[in-house]
Structure 1
Amino acid sequence: MVSNIKQMIHDWFQYFHSYPEISWKEVETTNKIGSILDSMGVTYHRFNDVTGLVAEIGTGDEVIAVRADIDALWQEVDGKFQANHSCGHDANISMVLGALAYLKDEKLTKRIRFIFQPAEEKGNGSEAMIERGVIDNVSYLFGVHLRPIEELTFGQVSPAIQHGAAVFLEGKIQGEDAHGARPHQGKNAIDVLFSIQQLLKNIYFSPFEPYSIKLTKVQAGGESLNIIPGSASFAIDLRAQNNSVLAEIQERVEKELETISALHEVTISTDWIDYTPGAEVSADAAAIAGEAIREVVGDSNTMPTVVTSGSDDFHFYTIHDTNLKATMIGIGADLVPGLHHPQMEFNHEALDIGARTLAKTIEKCANKN
């Protein structure tokens, strides 16, 4: 039985890895998950307006939920832009399906809800699921994610991933074009861009609070080299380990951009997009996961909380419901060179470890008084 499930997990992974689909386009991915659930005899619910689905096993009033993100990135791979599962969501789907397979014939006194969520990479897939009631009546929520080799090696498992908060600013500068021979007649957007870059390097917060602020896009000028551009666009990536620190950074950036706008006598319009909150890890949920991890991989491979500046929209669930006890389990897989690298690879033997760890965690949570 166990060997059969392990092989199924590997087969599922090969399918999802071979047929990646980007956010909100995960049509065939959703269909495949549905067909797998059909073969297991597991009931599920699909949505008529978004991709993804929700399955349930067990009985009872209390609901324990597990979430898998199902979308792929759109990125350049070997010179060609394509959908690519370099963030490991193909692995996450397979591990969660594996946990379901290990649990489906067990006697469960609580309902177990499996959330196959679209559009994590867009940062708003979880909000769409929340709007559709997927965490209604849920007391505990668990997630799972492969971790880079710098954080966890193969066989190591962490009961919690302490993701940071992140948000992006898109900005436009509107000055005035000028001839290269008469710069005094215009408002040079490139000068403004350099001021913004210097501004970001001079924003400081406590060194005890991890954070980063950096330009990730600048666009200005055209093909004519004798025109000083008055307009430009830019983007800023802001991250902090703490949600309140990120809010402080946003406020500071807004004020400084206003100062630069006045200094250069240009208009700077901005838009905050794709906010993702930092993790609010439940000590209770992490403790349950920790007990399960020790049973599956032993004390020596049970690791402390992983702290990362990366982000995940999983944490919108706990922002929405502050009573929800949640944690995301980190799976070591010798993953290199890193998440989101187009050539990311890992030890596939970690898939079954992740599935068994999730199953054991859910079982312990379901049996908790």
Structure 2
Amino acid sequence: MINQQIKDTVTRDREELIALRRTFHSEPELPWEEVKTTQFICDYLDKLGISYRKTEPTGVIAEIEGQPGGKTVALRGDMDALPVEQLNTHVPYASKVAGKMHACGHDAHTSMLLMAAKALSEVKDGLQGNIRLIFQPAEEIAEGAKAMVEQGAMESVDHVFGIHIWSQMQTHQVSCPPGPSFAAADIFKVHFVGKGGHGAIPEDCIDAAVVASSFVMNVQTVISRTIDPQNAAVLTIGRMDVGTRFNVIAENALIEGTVRTFNQETRDHIEKSIADYAQNVAAMYGATAEVEYIRGTQPVINNEASAMLVQQVATEAFGPDVLYNEKPTMGAEDFSFYLDKAPGSFALVGSGNTEKDTEWSHHHGSFDIDEDALATGAELYAQFAWAYLNQ
């Protein structure tokens, strides 16, 4: 199941792997701006002799061809950064770009996938099939995976595998249980329109601030009183924009929020209920409501056979103590769009280490990773692909 040469390559080139990650970390690029990152990946693949093509406007799809007649397994790594100011500027690889930072670990994903490509290219004559390498842009805005699929990333792919570095797990731990992993993530917007006027004459007005406040205070009962408690769901109001001046009764109110679910029926119910609540609250006060519900990513559901193969590979590569069962998160991942096209799984690789101060939450300005985790992720990418094609 495990290829020793792959393990030896990752071990041998550990310092190179760390250097790759530090290069990406110090030069972060936001979604759809990953021009330098894309070119760096292409230059590295050129050195390895791996064929590839650029996608538009950024991103790379590469191919390692093994023996003909086999299946194709895709490995995905995302590469975009966040508009976050780095706080831990004392590290030698700190972001060189003000207001931009790899605060989620995508720098690690890209470097791990490049090292996996290197290891797999050295054993390609023994591969019973092909490996598709997907270097994806724009994950943070949930647009990149869909764009890569539209540009052929999943054509003729039989299976797909991805990894996310996870600071909430201890370094080297691997989690990939069958079933739900990341939630579907939707956005909703509600625009209430009342009747504005002077703050001293409320009887002549319809106060959009009151309407919006009533909606915010009551819409949570969609979750607490209409959803089976065993079907996890989250509804969060993240923005409320009401009124123009202290002594003017608001005519308009805009509310924006997000819904996270694992179950399609639950998702449908919440979408309908938000619209019903908005319309009924508005009618109660004599206002009107316009609701926009935007479906984002699908839930990431790990295929059972794929997840069990990940666990087997991880155990054989790193020992039985490496396995950890991380509970599903209400966070979102556009890896789900690949799973719409082929079965697969999405693993978490722990990078949290108290002594190295790498247990900060993802998207925080102090986020960092224990670089010892890079070798675990790179080898897991490569060993999984080897095992899937040669099982």
TM-score normalised by the chain length of structure 1: 0.93
**Pick aligned residue for 1:27 from 13, 35, 38:** 35
Amino acid at match of 1:329: A
* 1:248 aligned residue (256, 269, 278): 269
User: Shift of residue 77 of structure 1?
Assistant: 4.6
The residue aligned with 1:68 is: 77
SS of residue matched to 1:261: helix
Structure 2 match to 1:293: 314
Q: How many residues align?
A: 360
Q: Hey, what's the Cα distance between the residues in 1 that align with 2:315 and 2:104?
A: 26
Aligned to 2:333: 312
User: Structure 1 stretch 51-60 or stretch 264-273: which is displaced more?
Assistant: 264-273
CA–CA distance in structure 2, aligned partners of residues 134 and 84 of structure 1: 27
Pick aligned residue for 1:158 from 149, 156, 175: 175
The reply to whether residue 5 of structure 1 matches residue 13 of structure 2 is yes
Shift of 1:361: 0.8
State whether residues 16 and 90 of structure 1, in contact with CA within 8 Å, keep that contact through their aligned partners in structure 2.
yes
Alpha-carbon separation, structure 1, partners of 2:158 and 2:174? 23
2: CA distance, partners of 1:347 / 1:356: 16
Other structure's SS at 2:111 match? helix
Given that residues 166 and 246 in structure 1 are in contact (C-alpha distance below 8 angstroms), is that contact kept between their aligned partners in structure 2?
A: no
Q: Distance in 1 between matches of 2:343 and 2:290?
A: 39
Unpaired segments of 5 or more residues in structure 2?
1-8, 88-96, 353-357
- 1:191-243 C-alpha deviation (Å, 9 max, x unpaired): 01211111222223111122111210011123x31111111211111112323
Instruction: Give 1:146's match in structure 2, choosing from 145, 165, 185.
Output: 165
Q: Contact between 2:187 and 2:257, CA under 8 Å: does it hold in 1?
A: yes
Equivalent in the alignment of 1:329: 347
The CA deviation at 1:274 is: 5.5
Counterpart of 2:288 in structure 1 is: 267
Query: Any idea what SS the aligned residue of 1:45 has?
Result: strand
2:233 match: 211
Query: How far does the alpha carbon of each residue in 1:136-181 deviate from its partner, in whole angstroms, 9 at most, with x for none?
Result: 11111000001132xx211211134711111111222222211011
- Tell whether 2:60 aligns with 1:53: yes
Identify the residue that residue 137 of structure 1 maps to in structure 2.
Answer: 156
Does structure 2 conserve the Cα–Cα contact (< 8 Å) formed by 1:284 and 1:325? no
Query: Residues of 1 paired with 2:80 and 2:99: CA distance?
Result: 13
Among 42, 52, 55, the alignment partner of 1:44 is 52
Number of the residue aligned with 2:187: 168
CA distance in 2, matches of 1:86, 1:243: 30
Q: 1:40, CA displacement in angstroms?
A: 1.5
Question: Is this contact kept in 2: 1:243–1:277, CA < 8 A?
Answer: no
Q: Identity, % of aligned pairs?
A: 28
Once the two structures are TM-superposed, the CA of residue 92 in structure 1 deviates from its matched residue by: 0.8
SS of alignment partner, residue 162 of structure 1: strand
CA separation in 2, counterparts of 1:76 and 1:230? 36
Distance 1:5 1:77 in 2: 28
Partner of 1:197: 216
2:337, 2:326 → 1: CA distance? 19
Does the CA contact (< 8 Å) of 1:92 and 1:144 recur in 2?
yes
SS of residue in 1 equivalent to 2:53: strand
| CA drift at 1:14 | 0.5
Which has the larger displacement, 336-345 or 157-166? 157-166
Sort the Cα spacing of 1:357 and 1:306 in 2 relative to 1 into closer, same or farther, 3 A. Answer: farther
Change in 2 beyond 3 A, CA 1:229/1:77: farther
- Does the Cα contact within 8 Å between 2:167 and 2:361 map onto a contact in 1? yes
Moved over 6 A (4+): none
Contact 1:175 1:267 in 2 (8 A): yes
In structure 2, what residue type is equivalent to 1:229? Answer: A
Runs of 5+ unmatched residues, structure 1: none
Aligned-residue CA RMSD (Å) = 1.8
Indicate conservation of the 8 Å contact 2:11/2:375, yes or no.
no
8 A contact 1:289–1:361 mirrored in 2? yes
Shift of 1:265: 2.2
Tell me the equivalent position of 2:130: 111
Contact 2:190 2:278 (C-alpha < 8 Å) held by counterparts: no
Q: Is the partner of 1:50 in helix, strand or coil?
A: coil
Conserved 8 A contact 1:22-1:83 = yes
